[in-house]
Structure 1
Amino acid sequence: MKIRLPLILLLNALGLALFFSWYLPENHGFWFSLDAGIFHFFNNGLVNSHAYVVLLAVTNNRVFDGISLLAMGALFSWFWWHETPKGRRRLVIMGVVMLLCAVIINQLGHLIPVSHVSPTLYFPDIHRVSELLHFPTKDASKDSFPGDHGLMLLIFTGFVLRYFGQKAFFIALLIFFVFASPRIMIGAHWFTDVYVGSLSIALVGLPWALLTPLSDGLINLLDRYLPGKNKTIA
């Protein structure tokens, strides 16, 4: 792939504009009102429905994180089953490159000099699922920006668009929404942790991997030097 510099710079500009629209205004401007409104909307519902409390507790349990991996794996596997042995090898290597990019972009994202607690630790006199239900769940974070979980899902979504096309991309977007939303609903993350923090980092970092020869080059490099190139992947 050739370097698509105009598109890269446009996506970078959108990511930076999104971040600074949140970062520069005093008390984050209109973003804080949006954050607070979304948090209180979901938080107030905790006292009205035990089933709702159980739902949030379950969907923010570590086991549910595993289900998100299964959902991503299922989408990946559909393409794997329809590939030749050589294509399957490249898909597996693409998955390795995706994980490598995810680790690097996530670490770079944490260099941003922003740190704040989750809304469940910020607002007084609120309800916490962990106090309403004795069940292991994540309903708070001492450093919730950016949303790591949301960023990983967005990176997966970007790779799906690059290598699997638009139809798979919309499925990946659905996976992102379904599995990123519980953290916001329970109050472990602000809305902007994901839709400003995670999204802006993805818009700045991911295009340099996917809209340049970088990701293809890494796949080709690993394909050349990893063992088992002449073996069939069943």
Structure 2
Amino acid sequence: MNNPGLFQARWNLGRLVICNIVPVALLAFWLWPTGQMLCMIFDEWLFHRLNAPLANNPIWLHIWAIASLRPFDAVVGVILLTLLIKGDWVFLASDVRRGFFGFVAILLLMLLIRMLFSKFADYMNWQHSSPSMVIDGAVHLSDYFPGLEKTWELKDRSSQSFPGDHASVLLIWALFMGVFARSAAQFAIVWGLALLFMMPRLVAGAHWGQDDYIGGVLLAVWALGWGFYTPYAHHVSVFFLRVTAPLFRLLVKWPLVGAMSVVREF
């Protein structure tokens, strides 16, 4: 079952080089004093445009308060997973399981890269506090909804906001799905959702823009390069397919669950 050519057991050195040059270039731009100044000018403008309306627009306030809760992250995860394992959308039904495990493999690789990069960022003193903690006049969602902050972990600030870990997960999903997108509409939907779901942290002030378009992008591109353009995704997905085969032979017998493309045998 599943297309063995979905992930190739070979190196694509050209794409791998690009996926290493882009993160290094982004990081170099960010560390360049002029580049950092431009990022800060843009990010302060972006923050005020997104955050200031919270004080005067109750609908805007409530929408982004809900979107900034931890349980909403779970809702986002379900949406992304549903699109990933939906048969005959981005992936053919016969390719869904391999595609799912390939994404899991690359996501795990990105989590490792993120852990190592975050430790290096701490060592290099690149960390910074989120805009809600340093910009005067910032609107804090937690001030309006103190109960939500205590009960549902409303996310509107961070003392270590670089790189954007939330954004990096959304971006690696979008990059991965974008590689396999079979139409411009699919590509637009994938990236539209990723950008939309990145917004809550930016509106609430938990992250600067640069935490996402520098930190999040470099993590995701690195992971895509070393995961997809090397034999890594091929071998790890084959391993996951083999070790989980007995489980899926049981799940295929379950009502409803057995009809899912990720479960069925082809």
Q: With structure 2 as the length reference, what TM-score do the two structures score?
A: 0.78
Greater CA deviation, 166-175 or 123-132?
A: 166-175
What's the counterpart of residue 217 of structure 2? 199
The correspondence for 1:148, drawn from 136, 146, 165, is: 165
Provide Cα deviations, 1:60-79, integer angstroms capped at 9, x if missing partner: 01121111111102202312
CA deviation after TM superposition for structure 1 residue 129, in Å: 1.4
In 2, the alpha carbon distance for the partners of 1:142 and 1:115 equals 8
Provide Cα deviations, 1:161-195, integer angstroms capped at 9, x if missing partner: 34554554433212211111111111110011001
Is 1:105 aligned to 2:117, yes or no?
no
2:87 is paired with a residue whose SS is helix
CA deviation after TM superposition for structure 1 residue 207, in Å: 0.6
Is 1:122 aligned to 2:130, yes or no?
no
Aligned residue type for 1:157? A
Structure 1 residues 21, 70: CA separation in 2 closer, same or farther (over 3 Å shift)?
Answer: same
What's the counterpart of residue 42 of structure 1? 50
The alignment-based identity, stated in percent, is: 26
In 2, the alpha carbon distance for the partners of 1:56 and 1:93 equals 32
In 2, the alpha carbon distance for the partners of 1:112 and 1:40 equals 30
Contact 1:223 1:229 (C-alpha < 8 Å) held by counterparts: no
Equivalenced residue count is 232
Contact 1:138 1:188 (C-alpha < 8 Å) held by counterparts: yes
Structure 1 residues 7, 94: CA separation in 2 closer, same or farther (over 3 Å shift)?
Answer: closer
Is 1:172 aligned to 2:190, yes or no?
yes
Which stretches in structure 2 are left out of the alignment for 5+ residues?
A: 1-7, 253-262
1:116 is paired with a residue whose SS is coil
What's the counterpart of residue 208 of structure 2? 190
Aligned residue type for 2:157? A
1:34 is paired with a residue whose SS is helix
CA deviation after TM superposition for structure 1 residue 89, in Å: 4.2
What is the root-mean-square deviation in Å for CA atoms of aligned residues?
A: 2.4
The correspondence for 2:82, drawn from 68, 74, 77, is: 74
In 1, the alpha carbon distance for the partners of 2:102 and 2:42 equals 37
Contact 2:85 2:97 (C-alpha < 8 Å) held by counterparts: no
In 1, the alpha carbon distance for the partners of 2:230 and 2:142 equals 45
CA deviation after TM superposition for structure 1 residue 146, in Å: 0.5
In 1, the alpha carbon distance for the partners of 2:235 and 2:22 equals 26
What's the counterpart of residue 22 of structure 1? 30
Contact 1:39 1:187 (C-alpha < 8 Å) held by counterparts: yes
1:94 is paired with a residue whose SS is helix
CA deviation after TM superposition for structure 1 residue 91, in Å: 4.1
Q: With structure 1 as the length reference, what TM-score do the two structures score?
A: 0.87
Contact 2:106 2:223 (C-alpha < 8 Å) held by counterparts: no
2:86 is paired with a residue whose SS is helix
What's the counterpart of residue 239 of structure 2? 221
Aligned residue type for 2:205? G
In 2, the alpha carbon distance for the partners of 1:77 and 1:206 equals 19
The correspondence for 1:83, drawn from 75, 80, 93, is: 93
In 1, the alpha carbon distance for the partners of 2:37 and 2:171 equals 25
What's the counterpart of residue 9 of structure 1? 17
Contact 1:19 1:196 (C-alpha < 8 Å) held by counterparts: yes
